[in-house]
Structure 1
């Protein structure tokens, strides 16, 4: 599978899936998008991309200085939340490890400067490295939003996009199970093709005779 990163636009040519504007965790899960032809877009593939994604959602300043480890932490949380969304949508038990990762992200951010101890100068208090603090705050916000979504009334509407190979999730309205108009069109085209392919042979013969007449 080939991955398209910096050569592509910063955002995929898809509108936000239903529910992303209300739930940042849904936008996080959808930051990796599977496309036809075996391609994928990862909006967190590099530190710069991760910084842009967080900045666009008010979770980091433009000059946060993201590093590889920061982007990796975001991608890791994304996969664990995706696992929980998949379990909830399919009404299956969740992986305990995924629950633990989300809980850890929510509780890792210190509420006050921490106690440090220097062997020469003694005790003092300080905040974590600025970039580390920014990333951990963003992780906490995203994890808390995922927990709210999974335990709130919107959880019943959580579903995977029904148009393969799309990997996005959405909050469905009515019977709609597609994250975008494009995915809906692709799903309808696939169903129409399947109906034609599976039609009885006699039907094809009748159609051919009718066409010749």
Structure 2
């Protein structure tokens, strides 16, 4: 069982996160050594902060748990698609459907409603729901763009267990951060020393 971690700073952005917010979203659930995890979307306040940092929500959006759960759900679907692409295997149809659903959630106009007593009227979704739907649509569209672009060839998982982050490979680099690169090199050096004994 993974133990959640709070109060730990997030690692620096992985290669490609700044250009692709969907990659940053996929990397918000971070596996740490010792079976611990850091979830940057673990609470509504953390979710609001993460969205605000990327210009996807105002500071006072008032996220609720339902909104945070929707974003975490999309994160898992996008992670599934990134894993399938990086591993060269077919994607889960449910993950493709979830991304498509998120992209089509944003109404372009106030919707028609009908009240049995007062008749028809038009209404927009509540402000927080509209903010979350727009954020979900933006992130889903970015994931679709990344997966269908030439950059998708560079999409890979970090090569330093237990890290579970994704990055866009640059040259030979297969690590999401210096910390993970150092950990992988130390593990290789340790393995070489123990083989020589």
TM-score, normalised via structure 1 length: 0.90
Q: Offset of 1:61 from its aligned partner? A: 0.6
Aligned residue for 1:30?
27
Alignment of 1:6-85 (within 5 A): 8-9=7-8, 11-12=9-10, 14-85=11-82
Aligned residue for 1:211?
none
- Alignment RMSD (CA, Å): 0.8
CA distance in 2, matches of 1:151, 1:17: 20
- Aligned to 1:165, the other structure's residue is in SS state coil
Segments of 5+ residues of structure 1 without an aligned counterpart are 205-213
After superposition, give the CA deviation of every residue in 1:148-190 in whole Å (9 maximum; x if it has no partner): 0000011000000000001100001111000011100100000
After superposition, give the CA deviation of every residue in 1:104-153 in whole Å (9 maximum; x if it has no partner): 00011100000011111111111001111100000000000000000001
Aligned residue for 1:150?
147
CA distance in 2, matches of 1:52, 1:193: 39
Aligned residue for 1:3?
4
After superposition, give the CA deviation of every residue in 1:18-61 in whole Å (9 maximum; x if it has no partner): 00000000000001111111111101011111000000100001
Aligned residue for 2:162?
165
Runs of 4+ aligned structure 1 residues displaced above 3 Å come to: none
Aligned residue for 1:138?
135
Q: Offset of 1:86 from its aligned partner? A: 0.2
CA distance in 1, matches of 2:85, 2:125: 35
Query: Is structure 2 residue 107 aligned with structure 1 residue 110?
Result: yes
Query: Is structure 2 residue 94 aligned with structure 1 residue 97?
Result: yes
TM-score, normalised via structure 2 length: 0.97
Aligned residue for 1:182?
179
